[in-house]
Amino acid sequence: MKKLGIFLCCALLSASAGVAGSAQRALAAVVQQDVFTHKEAGVQFQLPKGWKAEPDGEIITASSADDALQVVFWVPDADSFDTAVKELDKELDKTIKNVKMDGKPTQDTHNGMTHFGEYGTGEVNGATIAWSVDGLAAKKPLLILTFGAPQLMEKHALEYQQLVKSIKKIN
């Protein structure tokens, strides 16, 4: 969990500053062109044109071409979906200050998987960010964390929707 906290802090700082990271390959992801497979979660997704992804163990970070929007795919150590969400809340509370929810959490299905989501705004080191958390009941619980400056989230909204629609469960 400590690794995720450090990672979230770095991802949030990169998202708010638009800083590029170095690409890494890891065992959790299988890459075919712009299609990434998160083996542990049992899902795959396709990156929008120009986007990149950086696998690092159980975490895959996808980002827009300008690094303004960060999308983190993470399979927590928790045994259950509810436990994973509680762990995530604790980590986010350490990183994002002045959290404001936009609306109530949602629960539905996404490509045949149970899905929950919530979103809002907050501050990281004094910079305002927009964030969302999505959870999918895949092979293992998968949490998807999205961060960026509010105006940049809007700029990349169509690309982000394309990415989200492409997330599918695999065998």
> Please, what CATH class does the domain formed by 2-169 belong to?
alpha beta
**Predicted local confidence at residue 22, as pLDDT:** 30
Distance of CA 143 to the CA centre of its chain: 7
pLDDT per position as a tens digit, 147-166:
998 888 889 999 999 999 99
Instruction: Report domain extents, the chain.
Output: 2-169
Backbone angles phi, psi at 77, to 5 degrees: -70, -15
Closest to 73 (Cα-Cα) out of 139, 155, 152: 139
pTM check: above 0.85:
no
With contact defined as beta carbons under 8 Å apart, do 75 and 88 qualify?
A: no
Neighbours of 19 (CB within 10 A): 10
Residue found by looking up tokens 């982000």 in the block: 160
Query: Hey, which residues does 74 pair with through a beta bridge?
Result: 59, 143
Backbone angles phi, psi at 85, to 5 degrees: -65, -40
**Predicted local confidence at residue 132, as pLDDT:** 92
**Per-residue confidence at 167, pLDDT binned at 50, 70, 90?**
very high
Average pLDDT, whole number, for the chain? 80
Distance CA 12, CA 129 (A): 8
